[in-house]
Amino acid sequence: MALIEVRGLTTLFGPRPQAGLALWRQGLDKAALLAHGHVLALQSVSLDIQPGEIFVIMGLSGSGKSTLVRHLNGLQRPTAGQVWIGEDELTVLPSRRLNALRRQRLAMVFQRFGLLAHRSVLDNVAFGLELRGVAAREREARARHWIERVGLQGWEAHRPAQLSGGMQQRVGLARALCSDTDIILMDEAFSALDPLIRSQLQGELLSLQAELGRTIVFITHDLDEALRIGSRVAILRDGAVLQVGTPRELLLQPTDAHVAAFVADVNRARALRVDSALAPWPAGQPAPAPERAVDADATLEQVLPRLVGRQAPLAVRRGGAVVGQVALDEVRALLVPPE
């Protein structure tokens, strides 16, 4: 069963959203509604987000991404439609229960880090636990653990302003992980970072996720980022979902002309992970030696040199376990699709 369910979410901004909704139902589009003073931010969005996946919402500026996340954390109520988190229908939850659910189940990572300037790194990371009333010693121990996990040991006593952008975003990530929620919402979390740091953090998020299995909703306007880290990606345009699919499905079977145009120029070798080319590990065959295996989250570009010139496929591992194998023919079919 889906962990987060979104059904027919439609949201208009303006003085009379319900009047705008009626016009939208009569068939007016975003431009026509704007002429009547209504901003159509989301139209009939339905999504099922599964536990343990990194679900990416990708769209250009103004496509409705931030509005959609604000519905997922209950900060925004829709003009029509529902959001469910597990058994709870967020859209009708009384505000006390909504606040409790937010503290217990949702952590946010923001583009501009959203750190508390006058608190140390340690106190920033422990903040979610503090809000929940966890005792000081325990929250400090747990914060130290996550600070180490994101590679910031030694920086516990520093203030955010003394850290680089990439380091501040690690603090933001550690804070979300430390809050121990099953859902993490990340709105353009890596967008303000240099390309190299950004790519490093993408890799780290994937390996953390392979270990932790949280449910992550990741918002980005960057298609390469979406394809690299998404288990599945929803493409949003003018507040409507054009297509939801795995990176492989979006690249090889776009169902919409806009999606096809979006993905046309993507560097597939870099965008697709090995798990896009995964075939089952043959039954009965013994597990391979570690040096004969590649990581499921590596890009095709990273494994190509090891596949070229050898007959046998390579084993694919995730978090220590063999999850399948990858063969050169399959990689070639992904990189050079038939005419």
Ligand X SMILES: Nc1ncnc2c1ncn2[C@@H]1O[C@H](COP(=O)(O)OP(=O)(O)OP(=O)(O)O)[C@@H](O)[C@H]1O
* 79 near ligand X (CB under 6 A): no
* 191 near Mg ion (CB under 5 A): no
302 binds, among ligand X, Mg ion, none (CB under 5 to 8 A by kind): none
Q: Which is nearest to 223 in space by CA: 70, 57, 72?
A: 57
* 82 near Mg ion (CB under 5 A): no
Cβ atoms 285, 322 nearer than 8 A = no
* 114 near ligand X (CB under 6 A): no
67 binds, among ligand X, Mg ion, none (CB under 5 to 8 A by kind): ligand X
Look-up: residue for tokens 């990416």? 56
Cβ atoms 114, 151 nearer than 8 A = no
* 299 near ligand X (CB under 6 A): no
Minimum gap (Å) between residue 276 Cβ and Mg ion = 27
Binding footprint of ligand X, residue count (CB under 6 A): 12
Minimum gap (Å) between residue 98 Cβ and ligand X = 19
Instruction: Show the site string, 218-257: x = touches ligand X by CB under 6 A, - = not.
Output: ---x------------------------------------
Give the binding range for Mg ion (CB under 5 A) out of 63-71, 154-162, 177-185, 228-236.
63-71
Cβ atoms 54, 4 nearer than 8 A = no
What is the length of the chain? 339
Q: Which is nearest to 119 in space by CA: 174, 157, 67?
A: 157
Q: Name which of 63 and 181 has its Cβ closer to ligand X.
A: 63
* 26 near ligand X (CB under 6 A): no
Minimum gap (Å) between residue 197 Cβ and Mg ion = 21
73 binds, among Mg ion, ligand X, none (CB under 5 to 8 A by kind): none
Binding footprint of Mg ion, residue count (CB under 5 A): 2
Q: Name which of 30 and 144 has its Cβ closer to ligand X.
A: 30
Give the binding range for Mg ion (CB under 5 A) out of 60-68, 207-215, 291-299, 310-318.
60-68
CA dist., res. 162 & res. 155, Å (int): 9
Four-point Cα dihedral 10, 227, 219, 63, nearest 10: -40
110 binds, among ligand X, Mg ion, none (CB under 5 to 8 A by kind): none
Q: Name which of 146 and 218 has its Cβ closer to Mg ion.
A: 218
Classified as helix, coil or strand, 259 is helix
- Tokens read off for 19: 């009047």
Cβ atoms 325, 281 nearer than 8 A = yes
* 13 near ligand X (CB under 6 A): yes
CA dist., res. 184 & res. 161, Å (int): 24
* Contacting ligand X within 166-225 (CB under 6 A): 221
CA dist., res. 21 & res. 25, Å (int): 6
Minimum gap (Å) between residue 222 Cβ and Mg ion = 12
**Which residues, in sequence order, are bridge partners of residue 232?**
55
Among residues 64, 74, 78, 128, which is the contact residue for ligand X, using CB under 6 A? 64
Q: How far is CA 108 from the centre of its chain?
A: 11
CA dist., res. 171 & res. 116, Å (int): 11
Residue 176, φ and ψ in degrees, nearest 5 = -65, -45
Q: Which residue is nearest to Mg ion (CB)?
A: 66
Q: How far is CA 151 from the centre of its chain?
A: 21
Among residues 7, 48, 51, 66, which is the contact residue for Mg ion, using CB under 5 A? 66
Site residues (CB under 5 A) for Mg ion? 65-66
